[in-house]
Amino acid sequence: MNIQLNDNSLLKNQAYIDGHWVDGDSGSTFEVLNPATGEVLANVSSVGVTETKRAITAAQVAMESWKALDAKARSQVLEQWHQLILDNQEDLAILMTAEQGKPLAESRGEVLYGASFLKWFAEEGKRVYGDVLPSSNDRRSIVIKQPVGVVGAITPWNFPNAMITRKAGPALAVGCAIVLKPAAETPLSALALADLAERAGVPAGLFSVLPSRSAAEVGGEMTSNPTVKKVTFTGSTAVGKLLMKQCADTVKRTSMELGGNAPVIIFDDADLDKAVAGALASKYRNAGQTCICANRLLVQEGIYDAFVEKFSAAVQQFHMGNGLENGVNLGPIITEKAVADIHQKVEAAIEDGATVVTGGKVSELGPHFYEPTVITNATPDMRLFKEEIFGPVAPVFKFSTEQEAISLANNTEFGLASYIYTQDIGRIWRVSEGVDYGMVGVNETAISSEIIPFGGVKESGQGREGSKYGLDDYLETKYICMGGI
């Protein structure tokens, strides 16, 4: 493999099924590329339907003894996995930057973020309480919670570590087994996590990782196999809808964390410096490739020009490049296709009358780099308003009234994250309650952590990840009626 770590045994290029490192049955492999340089990092085994079936069967077997353990015993294994991730933070970060592109500082942060889900759910898994309901004299009505069963998980390339632990943590904590298909662009982080899980004592079969170049085959088996009781997915809305349809035939539970179209609403009374810093951090995190990234900057007319000036000046300070190099704080875009898609949206906006203040083109650094861009005179009929940009492009829209801001924010089929900048306490409540989003950041855009219920409404998905609420997605509720008392 074209990469050097302190511990090179974390570099895996085979699937991890039922506790074994294996090639795909067909022997086929696929390339994993460094998006900053285009170099081939590794050739990774590609699995299909039969290997997925095997992983699911192994999961079912492994789950029997795992769910019978005390929650405390499961917790200890998760704690150990958490500790090993911390111990290997730098290697995991280097691996992540190599295959995904985000600057090393962001990768280090994601590794800690990913580990935090294991720690949180190691603790929270010990608190799966039931209920005794007020009942009539001759009976007692009891509610218990049980693990939902074997879980199928499909994760994206933009967060190659944390999206896995955010699903595996709660699943394993409550006694489920999990079969994971990572994104084809970033399987190395997933496989390194599996290696650490094995070292931590996660029993064979309980956490299998299925790299594949045919997502539809693996996803098709996961969603149709009756042994899988729940499918959890993070990715595009289009694929999420497809998976939900596929799950309908066997009536599986689903959790869907899909696309977003986050508005950042900046009112005239906002603290301008805070608003600029918050919008900047949100928009350009992971080069704009985050489902909760600011997608639309909605700025009130009285502060519009001042905001654009300060924001654009800050955007021009980014140092774009290979995320492994010192000082780089903006990385590449995952694929050339994604770059082309971003650029088409910008070109369409220009044709429709938008103005490019800075950026607006593919960078001279190479075909995976798009210049950090600010666009003014943006209007709601543009693709930049309607679609997830997933790139470092900030369109700035102007509004007049609070009601108009709420209407603009809600004028989308998405409803994941939203942000408000204002100092008016009444307005904070009105707007927070008025926007149709699963999450609202008030004078803050760094809203993610393991303790909060992450998730969306409308076509941004269903279910919540992280927090005490995140456990419910992996639990069934059983009612027991005890009669004859």
Ligand X SMILES: NC(=O)C1=CN([C@@H]2O[C@H](COP(=O)(O)OP(=O)(O)OC[C@H]3O[C@@H](n4cnc5c(N)ncnc54)[C@H](OP(=O)(O)O)[C@@H]3O)[C@@H](O)[C@H]2O)C=CC1
401 Cβ neighbours under 8 A, 6+ residues apart: none
Number of Cβ within a 10 Å radius of residue 313 = 13
454 contacts ligand GUA (rule: CB under 6 A) = yes
Segment lying near ligand GUA (by CB under 6 A), choices 58-66, 207-215, 286-294, 378-386: 286-294
Cβ proximity to ligand X: between 253 and 427 the closer is 253
18 contacts ligand GUA (rule: CB under 6 A) = no
Number of Cβ within a 10 Å radius of residue 39 = 12
Q: What are the φ and ψ backbone dihedral angles of 144, each rounded to 5 degrees?
A: -120, 160
Number of Cβ within a 10 Å radius of residue 302 = 12
Find the binder of ligand X among 235, 359, 392, 441 (CB under 6 A): 235
257 in catalytic set: yes
291 contacts ligand GUA (rule: CB under 6 A) = yes
Q: DSSP H helical segments within 225-362, as ranges?
A: 237-248, 272-284, 304-315, 336-351
Q: Looking only at residues 420 through 449 of this chain, which bind ligand GUA when binding is defined by CB under 6 A?
A: 448
Catalytic residue among 106, 185, 221, 257: 257
457 contacts ligand X (rule: CB under 6 A) = no
List the single partner that 235 binds among ligand X, ligand GUA, none, CB under 5 to 8 Å by kind: ligand X
Q: Looking only at residues 325 through 364 of this chain, which bind ligand X when binding is defined by CB under 6 A?
A: 338
CB 31 within 8 A of CB 335: no
CB 75 within 8 A of CB 119: no
Taking phi first (over 0 means left), then psi (-120 to 50 degrees means alpha), and beta for anything else, what does residue 145 get?
A: beta
For 7, the token pair is 């511990």
CB 358 within 8 A of CB 231: no
CB 169 within 8 A of CB 197: no
In angstroms, rounded to a whole number, what is the distance separating the alpha carbons of residues 395 and 399? 13
159 contacts ligand GUA (rule: CB under 6 A) = yes
Find the binder of ligand X among 40, 73, 143, 216 (CB under 6 A): 216
CB 162 within 8 A of CB 48: no
List the single partner that 454 binds among ligand GUA, ligand X, none, CB under 5 to 8 Å by kind: ligand GUA
Cβ proximity to ligand GUA: between 49 and 112 the closer is 112
CB 229 → ligand X: shortest distance, Å?
17
390 contacts ligand X (rule: CB under 6 A) = yes
158 contacts ligand GUA (rule: CB under 6 A) = yes
3-class state of residue 237 by DSSP: helix
Find the binder of ligand X among 51, 110, 257, 402 (CB under 6 A): 257
What DSSP line would sit under 221-235, residue for residue?
HHHH-TTEEEEEEES
Tell me whether strands 393-399 and 140-147 are parallel, antiparallel or unpaired.
unpaired
10 contacts ligand X (rule: CB under 6 A) = no
Find the binder of ligand X among 103, 114, 219, 463 (CB under 6 A): 219
CB 26 → ligand GUA: shortest distance, Å?
31
208 contacts ligand X (rule: CB under 6 A) = no
Point out the residues that are catalytic: 257
Residues at the contact surface with ligand X, assessed by CB under 6 A: 154-158, 181, 183-185, 215-216, 219, 234-236, 239, 242, 257-259, 291, 338, 388, 390
Residues at the contact surface with ligand GUA, assessed by CB under 6 A: 158-159, 234, 257, 290-292, 448, 454
